[in-house]
Amino acid sequence: MTGLGAESIRDEGYQAPASIDPMAIRADFPTLHQEVYGHPLVYLDNAASAQTPQSVIDAIVRFYQNDYSNVHRGVHRLSQVATDAYEAVRRDVKQLLNAADEREIIFTKGTTESINLVASSFGERFIGEGDEILITAMEHHANIVPWQLVCERKGARLRVVPIDERGELLLDELETMITPRTKLVAVVHISNALGTVNPVKRIAEIAHRRDVPVLVDGAQSVPHQRIDVQELDCDFFAFSGHKVYGPTGVGVLYGKSRWLEEMPPYQGGGDMILKVTFERTTFADLPNKFEAGTPNIAGVIGLGAALEYLQAIGVGRVRAHEDRLLSYATESLGAVPGVRLIGTAREKAGVLSFVVSGIHPHDIGTIVDRYGVAIRVGHHCAQPVMRRFDVAATARASFAMYNTFDEVDVFVDAVRKAIEVFS
């Protein structure tokens, strides 16, 4: 393992070296304070869903208790309050991502829906027979399957940029695989299966030189680094609330307005129209054109509280803490005989994927669970990654701002005990 620590985060998201106090942070997270099978919970499944701080839970409860109403629909007081709160979060997200315009922020139910929106709508307008969509070999199924569906519908072709044995993207290959038929490059920012941080700014430069837009799957990056969509110069950026300490069922699609304006609606219904007759409907402007129906209002309110929480702690400090944990865990787990780390990219964040020779990840997961350690086992919705590394599944520990070095010790100890059971 190389390149971890302060050095590796110099480019993106690094704010201040001051370290955070995970013990103080833990006090804000009610779920963390429980025992599992008689052991204190060690929650290391953050890449699946991070826990929510009390402030997020409170914001949702307060909204339902005081301000609850539909948005954009009433002249009455509560509707105004709810609409203001909802739209305030859109401005928060605009700021978080440094988007040029809040009209470029669309609320969805998560990364998956955000990508499906682009696949469906951008695909409808811009992708035709014989065209190509470029993805990478480390994508989550959410950034594979929607493109396959478009390709099938349109007679287009999905092409996959390979990765090396460390789990790093082959940038040269990416460059040569962009052809005059390439209509979009869709790439994960941080791989949930490998932890690899992709150089999305470089990728956007390469693609833009050929006039090809870029979609970034930011599901794993927003909780770990500062995002500036204008600096990255990506055309689309997607993320989910539940991975940034927010609620489930809410997410964001950022899209440059030049694209969003030309794209047809994704779904039809209320809120996304200007005028409806049976002969013809004119659509609302951005962002409403892409938000048909009553949105997840409470979810958006919760997301706002989560982003506020994350920004108050400082995502750069969070990342610095997580990098130290990752580097400690990598060394400590890597020293256990029989352990093979899957994904050893020089730029990594948050995720430690591994297999143990002779023991299936499921058995590891079940055994460490009995010591209170929650990790994810399986293919992580990235079956092509598993095939690339010739494993059926991996075990994965993933870190958040509230994890501690002691927890890493408990985790590594539990893995050792799993190995003992099978020895």
Partner 1 sequence: MFDDLYQEIILDHNRRPRNCRVIEDTPHHAEGHNPLCGDEVKIFLKMEDDRVVDVAFQGNGCAISTASASLMTEALRGKTLEEAHELFGAFHEMVKGQNPPESKDLGKLQVFSGLSDYPMRVKCATLCWHTLQAAIEKRKEVVSVE
Ligand X SMILES: Cc1ncc(COP(=O)(O)O)c(C=O)c1O
Positions in the binding site for partner 1 (CB under 8 A): 359-363, 366-367, 370, 377-379, 383, 386, 392-393, 421-422
234 is catalytic: no
Q: Please state, in angstroms and rounded to a whole number, the distance separating the CA atoms of residues 195 and 129.
A: 35
The yes or no reply on residue 140 touching ligand X (CB under 6 A) is yes
Neighbours of 180 (CB within 10 A): 9
Nearer to ligand X, 216 or 355 (CB): 216
Return the DSSP state at 72. Answer: S
The yes or no reply on residue 220 touching ligand X (CB under 6 A) is yes
Residue partners of 419: CB distance under 8 A and separation at least 6:
336, 337, 338, 356, 359
From the candidates 308, 381, 389, 417, which is the catalytic residue?
381
The yes or no reply on residue 217 touching ligand X (CB under 6 A) is yes
For residue 220, the partner it binds in ligand X, partner 1, none, with Cβ less than 5 to 8 A by kind, is ligand X
Nearer to ligand X, 127 or 190 (CB): 190
CB of 357 to ligand X, least distance (A): 26
For residue 310, the partner it binds in ligand X, partner 1, none, with Cβ less than 5 to 8 A by kind, is none
For residue 367, the partner it binds in partner 1, ligand X, none, with Cβ less than 5 to 8 A by kind, is partner 1
CB of 363 to partner 1, least distance (A): 5
* H or E element, residue 171: helix 171-177
Nearer to partner 1, 271 or 413 (CB): 413
Q: Please state, in angstroms and rounded to a whole number, the distance separating the CA atoms of residues 15 and 9.
A: 9
Q: Please state, in angstroms and rounded to a whole number, the distance separating the CA atoms of residues 112 and 209.
A: 28
Q: Please state, in angstroms and rounded to a whole number, the distance separating the CA atoms of residues 109 and 115.
A: 11
The yes or no reply on residue 135 touching ligand X (CB under 6 A) is no
DSSP states of 198-247: P-HHHHHHHHHHTT--EEEE-TTTTTTS---HHHHT-SEEEEEGGGTTS-
The yes or no reply on residue 188 touching ligand X (CB under 6 A) is yes
Neighbours of 273 (CB within 10 A): 16
Q: Please state, in angstroms and rounded to a whole number, the distance separating the CA atoms of residues 208 and 332.
A: 42
The yes or no reply on residue 376 touching ligand X (CB under 6 A) is no
For residue 392, the partner it binds in partner 1, ligand X, none, with Cβ less than 5 to 8 A by kind, is partner 1
- Identify whether the C-beta of residue 122 lies closer than 8 Å to the C-beta of residue 106: no
Nearer to ligand X, 112 or 330 (CB): 112
Q: Please state, in angstroms and rounded to a whole number, the distance separating the CA atoms of residues 259 and 98.
A: 17
For residue 110, the partner it binds in ligand X, partner 1, none, with Cβ less than 5 to 8 A by kind, is ligand X
By annotation, the residues acting in catalysis are 381
List interacting residues with ligand X (CB under 6 A): 110-112, 140, 142-143, 188, 192, 217, 219-220, 240, 381
